[in-house]
Structure 1
Amino acid sequence: MQLTKKDVSNPREQEVYKRALRFRRDIYAIVKDFPKIEKYNMCDQMRRASASVPANFSEGYRNHYYGKERDRLNTALGSTAEIQAFLDMAIMENYISEEQYRKLDDDAEVIFGILLARIKEIDKVLEKEGQGEEE
């Protein structure tokens, strides 16, 4: 049996959600200046991954089950890491400036840290209740 949450509140009130939305906006803005060759490659992937972070956070946060929230947060973590890999490629190809890279990478690290902290909180709740990792 899956462990249910006592409360399911609005993700829009959470700082990580707000940060993730701003991060998505910033990613969308920088890829507009990438070369045409990247339009259906790196640009699309960066847009999708950046949109995945707030979307998966929201879906998980609004879920009634801790295990489902954890799963969605883990997906958001992966998307954040994916964006960081694309930022590494973008700086290597000189598509973005060092300043843009630093800002976006720092933003990604903050988001990653907040998501990971929430996953660890959920792990403690599940461990305490003897649920372990849920399917």
Structure 2
Amino acid sequence: MYSWIDDIISGIRENYNTDNVYELYDYLEIKIHKIEASNILLRGNDSFYYRDFNDKEIVFIRNDIKDTMEAFILFHELAHALLHTQICQAAFNKNFTNLGKFEKQANYFAFKMLNVSFDKVELESMSIDQIASCIGISPELSYLITDY
């Protein structure tokens, strides 16, 4: 279903020879700015991707997120930067945009970039929250796993 995203991921890995999210942000000249969770820019979210009219890009991310969760969120926002180049314009017109589709694609990208794979037999007896814990994402985001 997302083979086109797999192709983009393969190209990224081949081009930049890294899976390190921070190195990729440097190569792509996307700034990361950590801010307080209460900052109005986040509107209650963990992060926010922004591209201005001069194509300068920045991701604002909560400053209290740790480790794998931060990498997941940064890969998710990187997906928006790479896969959804028109997302800013589209987000303003929700009648013509399937924002849920964009979010699923960004989550898929993030899981793949983190090399997360699921063996259904191995995970069969585990709850979604247990799986989330095993792969290092917070239980609040365990709902993201249900499609994979």
Fold shared, TM-score > 0.5 on shorter chain:
no
Highest RCO, 1 vs 2 (Cα 8 Å, sep ≥ 6): 1
Alignment TM-score, normalising by the size of structure 1: 0.31
Alignment TM-score, normalising by the size of structure 2: 0.29
User: Which has the greater radius of gyration?
Assistant: 1
* Structure with greater proportional strand content: 2
